Structure 1
């Protein structure tokens, strides 16, 4: 198998299934479709059209422009001798933006944005979703393709045990210092392989056996990754997340010329005890919190006022350009205000105090569309809908490893879980929670995943899983429960366990969860009560939620969704239990200790009292079957064979599931943009209508916000 510099892996693009059924959503769509004009993405006023030439992104690198242009503020610095000419600041072959919807823009202005995250770590995770500059490779076409990033070209050997990455020559950090593979090797040798440091080898640096790779840098622009077994998903995983610093993906690099002064190995004045040195080191090499730390992103940090605001300014050395040679970004400054109170934030939106709101970061949902449309004349914000890409919407799943043996036996009975799924009136949830958008689903991974769109067989597999227990059929649900002996034995109208003891299902969720999930849970309790199941909402203190779930002490999770893609194997935790946060927490933890000395320890200890809590799956059961198939996918170089193995795993979910229950898939995400902000893609521009929900397919970073520009930048000055 050989991976090329760009991977055109699909023969057709999946057309999203979500349709805006509500009148307001329909109005939003038609407004977006009918705009015309001259200076933006496809029309005279920069709005989307249905022109297919403006849909999606080129999969082959565009040619290097004949000349380059730069922001006036940078040109002035060049003329003063304070900055090298733009040609010297760019690499030999810059990254040329491949999106068909973008048009040459204007420089200047600031973009006012908002975040509701009050803590620094959470802010760092969300605000970096706007920036893809640290990514080695990049997702294109809503995950249908992989294109270059910092890496200009790459290849692997036939069995995918060795990968060679060729980086762009002449890359520079935001302070002008040359970027080389030494910056990766510093991260690898002095952070990842340093047992005292918190960084650990990411998935893309492990073989299909889970063994850590060997990284070598034969020169400043070449990196060789060697594995002891095939690592076929390396390119996919190099495109995941946004990378660069703490949160939302591995760092993958650090500015060695800057960072070494804070590392005890290189500076004798730094404490040798990493417990003392580590805190300062982490703070200094975090470009999202320290303005002095160089970055490879389009904007560099200007200021960070804890709990109040973050300001980013243009990076004069950013390596991306428009096809006409304009160095990006167009906008001078991003100003992010921290507003923890969502109602206060929504009021600011309606008053027009913000320029761009990315709904997934500020919980602006379909329920807010009507209000946003009514206040459009005041806010001057246009409502833009991108597909979310979720395979479930607000979901529900039992703890497959419930500590009560009697309850665990019932939960593990597929007929019980299927009966409860058939009792859910998804049409009511679709109307009440999602305003008739999306499509009812039993629950799958993202409908945009490659395994579903690669051919007709993939489409059929998706539809079978989606529809396997989606029908609202309370009478059949009752009969299935009767067959299990889950009947009303005491005449109180509620069903008991087969032995006659009380059966109560708690709908567990963190107490600070979004209203979307609470509203769904209220309907879920009503639907199950109608078939005689006593289900009650149970908010849990968020501080202890994770520990309780991993220990197997909770009954269910009801405030989550499955949004992951672009394929089932880059983030397979929903498909197969391999960790402790999803539907089989203790068995997932057992997977993590397989093949280690820990596997043979504490065998005489109660699984729930082991450290960490863990249990072995039932021999021949569905989880063991899933593990065997998954282990094959990890070392299978042939992509089509991997797809078929995934289909076999899905068949286990159909036969033995649902292990997790969805409600409504692929509902839209709300994006708000000032009407004179250009190059913001509309749904019609995006290859699959958008793919906004998963963090591993980071939006809007994958659509390059560095291309956004103001039609009248002088009206948007800081």
Structure 2
């Protein structure tokens, strides 16, 4: 997770990339309520499973609710509980989850009042959910799913009786509203999520034969569709996947001719669950009050479709209070003084350097510290923009030997010691050690090769490689020039609001130190946060230095493996990929790539990006897991031989999670399947661990 990212819907539009293979049951959870053929990719007359599907938990015999809601039922303000829940509620499967107590509130910190991190606490809009740190795929809004024999037609069966937080019925019409009136509406520009594209990249066909059935038809095998649907937090971080049609249609010109020309802006504001208290939700809590720049408060959703194994409707906790503290140091002081009840370290810029201070303040804060595995593939990352708009520098950036030399000159040992306190695994860059492909077949060896490919600190070899490229000091000023003799300056671009004491800035200073030492003029270069994304997409920025990689599966998240959208290591090629299969794909081909709207460029024929795309197209349609893994290794080999396309420090360093004494059902690292998986947005954390099941041992003390 980036320490600087404020993730938005459109930025991550194309984020749900294709995922690899079958699921396996972990030790910590079993499946949710309802039946499931989850993970299955083949079907004859009956669904055929390719991997182990979670065994469903039996629906509870008796249903219970919070005293707060029971009082509203008694007063005639709410329907009875059985009329608010679906026929088969989702049952949380975690073995470590105790039966809780109702009541109390939870105080948490936020970087802004419209913070994407708030959405990471709520998994309620997802048709399918990740369990066991991403090892298992389970039901969500959908209780079962299956495909035809070649995985080109997927059918999802949703729970009967689902309701939005305002009591209105949820149906597949809410998905079709999103699909027909937003995704396929060129005026709105919602964009097509990757799970809605076939293995060939063409757009799928969505049909809803009835209120609880969705059929998605592709023109090619698409075996990883369920896994992609489980990724992210839907209706918030990545693809929306649904909107409450009964509420949102009043802001859409198809249903309301009086909306103005700028209707899309108002539509976005009205659909935002952390901005608009009126918009219905399927999450456990719904927004109650919004105070821009100050706070948001959340109240229990009386129609939430999830229960514990004893039949208690969740959430246990009455409400959430997110206090906005935009200054990082102020936020840390307030954490230490005990003003919050649960703190997810990555969302609050907590690093390993904060551990000693947090431990010293434990008596005052009343918080215990849980160190979870990050699952990170890199720690703080560095990468060049392969589509930088200055031709001579772009040509140098695209030479593997140049990037390999800089990687060898990077003293990661010093960075590991000073930033990560000698934790984590040194890495050139890549995906994390928890990635599923790295645990089967030749996976461990392939991962080791990638991780160690250019990780050794060898400045003398680096200087020799630069000399052979003609990157030498030609004017005697102690700094190397480009091969054409022009000045060579590597600018370390980062958002100007970055935490100056945090890991990204410390890493940037060490990069500068390492590269200055071999004659590379390296300069710290802050950029206005509001324009960083646009400048990067246009090729105007040379580097990105305030991000990191993490994932559950290489094929689940090929965003780092190859350019798929404009925010990573080849911005114009990524934008070109994002428009594949759309009407805009063939437009403006006679215009300079940097002057196109939006700027975009095809990869060099036969070049690494071109080959990565072609291999990825094969990955998408390959049903056989072993063959698919082999294609993934072929993609990784390009990174080993012609990378690094991004450079890391260490993989899988610990992350801080703070929990107030008396807050229960927050799992420890030891209770999770893989030690936790904190950093990957595809595996939404804390949402995947069901915060709705958290409870106070003494709720009255936390009103």
Q: Could you tell me the TM-score, scaled by structure 1's length?
A: 0.87
Paired residue for 2:94? Answer: 99
SS in 2 for 1:572: coil
Q: Which moved more, 1:455-464 or 1:287-296?
A: 287-296
Paired residue for 1:73? Answer: 68
Superposed counterparts of 1:80-229, under 5 Å: 80-118=75-113, 120=114, 123=115, 125-229=116-220
Q: Which moved more, 1:638-647 or 1:344-353?
A: 638-647
Residue in structure 1 matching 2:275, options 264, 289, 294: 289
Paired residue for 2:472? Answer: 487
**Is structure 2 residue 527 aligned with structure 1 residue 540?**
yes
Q: Distance in 2 between matches of 1:596 and 1:92?
A: 40
- Asked if structure 2 preserves the Cα contact closer than 8 Å seen for 1:13 and 1:688, the reply is no
What is the CA distance between 1:314 and its match in structure 2? 0.9
Superposed counterparts of 1:352-363, under 5 Å: 352-363=338-349
SS in 2 for 1:494: coil
**Is structure 2 residue 518 aligned with structure 1 residue 531?**
yes
SS in 2 for 1:275: coil
SS in 2 for 1:130: coil
Task: Tell me: CA distance 1:259–1:492, structure 2 relative to 1, closer, same or farther (3 Å).
Answer: closer
What is the CA distance between 1:510 and its match in structure 2? 1.9
Task: Tell me: CA distance 1:116–1:612, structure 2 relative to 1, closer, same or farther (3 Å).
Answer: closer
Residues 450-484 of structure 1, C-alpha deviation per residue, up to 9 Å, x if partnerless? 2212x141111111100001111222222222333
Residue in structure 1 matching 2:575, options 589, 598, 617: 589
Residues 652-703 of structure 1, C-alpha deviation per residue, up to 9 Å, x if partnerless? 1001111111111222221111011001011111112111112222110010
What is the CA distance between 1:161 and its match in structure 2? 1.2
- Asked if structure 2 preserves the Cα contact closer than 8 Å seen for 1:113 and 1:334, the reply is yes
What is the CA distance between 1:443 and its match in structure 2? 0.3
Residue in structure 2 matching 1:696, options 682, 685, 697: 682
Q: Distance in 1 between matches of 2:588 and 2:694?
A: 57
Q: Distance in 2 between matches of 1:255 and 1:600?
A: 34
- Aligned residue pairs total 658
Superposed counterparts of 1:358-377, under 5 Å: 358-377=344-363
What is the CA distance between 1:293 and its match in structure 2? 2.5
Paired residue for 2:639? Answer: 653
- Asked if structure 1 preserves the Cα contact closer than 8 Å seen for 2:26 and 2:132, the reply is no
Residues 515-563 of structure 1, C-alpha deviation per residue, up to 9 Å, x if partnerless? 3211111111111122222212111222332222222222222222112
Paired residue for 1:336? Answer: 322
Residues 575-628 of structure 1, C-alpha deviation per residue, up to 9 Å, x if partnerless? 012332222223333434567776666566544334433334333222221111
Paired residue for 2:42? Answer: none
SS in 1 for 2:553: coil
Paired residue for 1:557? Answer: 544
**Is structure 2 residue 240 aligned with structure 1 residue 255?**
no
Q: Distance in 1 between matches of 2:60 and 2:27?
A: 29
Task: Tell me: CA distance 1:175–1:602, structure 2 relative to 1, closer, same or farther (3 Å).
Answer: closer
What is the CA distance between 1:250 and its match in structure 2? 2.0
SS in 1 for 2:64: coil
- Asked if structure 2 preserves the Cα contact closer than 8 Å seen for 1:8 and 1:59, the reply is no
Q: Which moved more, 1:335-344 or 1:182-191?
A: 182-191
**Is structure 2 residue 23 aligned with structure 1 residue 9?**
yes
What is the CA distance between 1:704 and its match in structure 2? 0.3
- Asked if structure 2 preserves the Cα contact closer than 8 Å seen for 1:58 and 1:99, the reply is no
Q: Distance in 2 between matches of 1:386 and 1:190?
A: 41
Q: Distance in 2 between matches of 1:702 and 1:600?
A: 40
Structure 1: gaps of 5 or more residues: 1-6, 15-56
Q: Could you tell me the TM-score, scaled by structure 2's length?
A: 0.89
**Is structure 2 residue 609 aligned with structure 1 residue 623?**
yes
Residues 178-222 of structure 1, C-alpha deviation per residue, up to 9 Å, x if partnerless? 222222222223333333334333222222233222221112211
- Asked if structure 1 preserves the Cα contact closer than 8 Å seen for 2:428 and 2:649, the reply is yes
Q: Distance in 2 between matches of 1:289 and 1:69?
A: 31
Q: Distance in 1 between matches of 2:396 and 2:250?
A: 59
**Is structure 2 residue 309 aligned with structure 1 residue 323?**
yes
- Asked if structure 2 preserves the Cα contact closer than 8 Å seen for 1:59 and 1:140, the reply is no
Paired residue for 1:520? Answer: 507
**Is structure 2 residue 378 aligned with structure 1 residue 392?**
yes
- Asked if structure 2 preserves the Cα contact closer than 8 Å seen for 1:60 and 1:147, the reply is no
SS in 2 for 1:166: strand
What is the CA distance between 1:103 and its match in structure 2? 0.9
Q: Distance in 2 between matches of 1:555 and 1:298?
A: 42
SS in 1 for 2:487: coil
Task: Tell me: CA distance 1:203–1:165, structure 2 relative to 1, closer, same or farther (3 Å).
Answer: same
Task: Tell me: CA distance 1:586–1:473, structure 2 relative to 1, closer, same or farther (3 Å).
Answer: same
Q: Distance in 2 between matches of 1:149 and 1:437?
A: 36
- Asked if structure 2 preserves the Cα contact closer than 8 Å seen for 1:390 and 1:561, the reply is yes
Task: Tell me: CA distance 1:533–1:335, structure 2 relative to 1, closer, same or farther (3 Å).
Answer: same
SS in 2 for 1:313: strand
**Is structure 2 residue 697 aligned with structure 1 residue 708?**
no
Q: Distance in 2 between matches of 1:343 and 1:117?
A: 15
Q: Which moved more, 1:57-66 or 1:361-370?
A: 57-66
Structure 2: gaps of 5 or more residues: 1-20, 29-51
Residue in structure 1 matching 2:297, options 303, 311, 316: 311
Q: Distance in 2 between matches of 1:289 and 1:408?
A: 41
Over the aligned positions, Cα root-mean-square deviation in angstroms equals 2.4
SS in 2 for 1:451: helix
Q: Distance in 2 between matches of 1:611 and 1:388?
A: 38
Q: Distance in 1 between matches of 2:211 and 2:582?
A: 37
Task: Tell me: CA distance 1:292–1:618, structure 2 relative to 1, closer, same or farther (3 Å).
Answer: closer
What is the CA distance between 1:98 and its match in structure 2? 0.9
Q: Distance in 1 between matches of 2:363 and 2:76?
A: 46
